[in-house]
Structure 1
Amino acid sequence: MIEVNIVGTGNVAWHLAKALGSQNQAILMQVAGRSIEKLENFNNIARETVSIDHLKPADVTIIAVSDDAIESFSEQIPFDNSLVVHTSGFTAMSTLSRKHNKGVFYPLQSFSKEDTSIDFTEIPILIEAEDPKDEKTLKTLAAIISNNVQVINSKQRRQLHLAAVFANNFTNHCYTIAQELCDVHGVPFDTLYPLIQKTTEKALQQGPKNSQTGPAKRDDKQVIDQQIKLLTDPDHTAVYKNITKAITHFYGKEL
């Protein structure tokens, strides 16, 4: 039975705690954080919620905090020579304090506490460790909650995180722009739902390169120019122009 601590009370910590608390092959011993109010959310999941200075050693201590706080929290952990990992897709494993055995336990997914539909068994967990024994421990722990466990190095993980920013964050911002355009002109945004669903479906089935359509792919300059004139927000215009240029260049045409 693997004993686990979680440091952090944010979205990743919450979903990890729920996943670990819903099985019987690992024990979520403690969740540590700075906010008593946020820690209360974990009272029914972990055996104990504590401030970080009262944290006790476990087989694995998972730091699930923002990237810029990882180093500070790893220094605050009040014990040495234990396996401590972070959940960041981009931060180097070496950021963790030298007093710990270091590792990475990165669930590649976008998390929000409001999302109750997340199935952790489908989420890739990407792991890395300095020591082969620790890597084995992390693989065992990850396999308890996920059916997709991969060992990758820091360079690969950083590139995957970068790819995820394009696939998730930038795409979602384009949805936000689309919704703003619909709202301003009184058009229901949900009219686009079938298109959004089909776009994702085709990208997964055919590959994104093979499923690209639209005026930029066709290099339809007349439509492109007219649509640019319809945009009144300079940021929206910049996004439209830059993505259009990228698409036309990718498919071998010049604006």
Structure 2
Amino acid sequence: MIRITILGSGNVSQHLIQAFSKSELVEIVQVFSRKPETLAHLLDSDKIVSDYSKLKETDLYIIAVSDNAIAEVSKQLPFENKLVVHTSGAAPIDTLDSKSRKGVFYPLQTFSKDKTVDFSVIPFCLEAENEADFSILETVAKSISNTVFAISSEQRKALHVAAVFVNNFTNHLYQIGQDICQEHQVPFEILKPLIQETADKINTLQPAEAQTGPAKRHDSNTIEAHLAYLNNENQRKIYNILTQSIQNNGKKL
């Protein structure tokens, strides 16, 4: 049984708490939170601490806080030579304090407070300074997920940028689509099967092969009509940028 401490009470922390609570290989000893009440629905009160001096010694400390807070939280840990990891996609391993054995335990997924996720299909990107610590992280990750990768800080940086494009930016485009629908009293629900099919396609096709639409076809009349129809200048700019990007795809610049 690997004994762990989680530091943080946000979306990632709460989802990890729920996942580890079902694992037979991992025991959550404590969770650190400045606002203990945010975790009251997930843990017994005696497992929640808000004072670093009350932290117990465990096998692994998982820091699940904002990127800007990782360094400060790792400095506050009252131990040396303990395995300490963060869950960030963007922060390098060296963000952690040098008094610790450092690692990364990055679940590549989007987490929302009220949306349950299936951890068994979430890829975990792991990094450690030595094989023994990597083995611990691998055991912990495999206790809740079927997909685990050894990923360096540089590779993780590329993955995180790519994830912003395929997740954050894509979701923003959903919002723009919804705004356009609402402006013209059209149910956004009508677009949901299209959104689902678009996502499903990349399970069998490369994104370039799955690309369709007026930009791909160089249908200038439709493109001009769309731009003339859009009332929002920001929407027109985004439409133009994405159209040009699709049309330039594969071209040598």
Q: TM-score higher than 0.5 here?
A: yes
CA contact (8 A) 1:107 1:125 kept: yes
2 CA distance for matches of 1:39 and 1:83?
24
Aligned residue number for residue 158 of structure 1: 157
Name stretches of at least 5 consecutive residues in structure 2 with no aligned partner: none
Q: Number of residues paired by the alignment?
A: 252
Cα distance, 1:47 vs structure 2 = 6.2
Name stretches of at least 5 consecutive residues in structure 1 with no aligned partner: none
Cα distance, 1:253 vs structure 2 = 11
Q: Secondary structure at the match of 1:145?
A: coil
Identical residues among aligned pairs (%) = 46
1 CA distance for matches of 2:252 and 2:230?
23
Aligned residue number for residue 63 of structure 2: 63
CA contact (8 A) 1:56 1:79 kept: no
Q: What is the identity, as a one-letter code, of the residue corresponding to 2:13?
A: A
Q: Secondary structure at the match of 1:42?
A: coil
Aligned residue number for residue 29 of structure 2: 29
Q: What is the identity, as a one-letter code, of the residue corresponding to 1:114?
A: D
CA contact (8 A) 1:219 1:253 kept: no
Cα distance, 1:229 vs structure 2 = 1.3
2 CA distance for matches of 1:186 and 1:39?
41
CA contact (8 A) 1:7 1:52 kept: no
CA 1:130–1:113: 2 relative to 1, 3 Å: same
Cα distance, 1:174 vs structure 2 = 0.5
Where does 1:68-87 land on structure 2 (aligned, <5 Å)? 68-87=68-87
Aligned residue number for residue 48 of structure 2: 49
Q: Secondary structure at the match of 1:115?
A: coil
Where does 1:203-214 land on structure 2 (aligned, <5 Å)? 203-214=202-213
2 CA distance for matches of 1:75 and 1:210?
48
Superposition RMSD on alpha carbons, in Å? Answer: 1.6
Aligned residue number for residue 222 of structure 1: 221
Q: What is the identity, as a one-letter code, of the residue corresponding to 1:76?
A: Q
Q: What is the identity, as a one-letter code, of the residue corresponding to 2:144?
A: I
Q: What is the identity, as a one-letter code, of the residue corresponding to 2:8?
A: G
Q: What is the identity, as a one-letter code, of the residue corresponding to 1:112?
A: S
Aligned residue number for residue 243 of structure 2: 244
CA 1:68–1:16: 2 relative to 1, 3 Å: same
CA offsets, 1:72-108, max 9 Å, x none?
Answer: 1111112221000000011000000111110000001
Q: What is the identity, as a one-letter code, of the residue corresponding to 2:88?
A: S
1 CA distance for matches of 2:229 and 2:93?
47
Cα distance, 1:19 vs structure 2 = 0.6
CA contact (8 A) 1:52 1:76 kept: no
Q: What is the identity, as a one-letter code, of the residue corresponding to 2:68?
A: D
TM-score by length of 1: 0.95
Where does 1:116-155 land on structure 2 (aligned, <5 Å)? 116=116, 118-155=117-154
TM-score by length of 2: 0.96
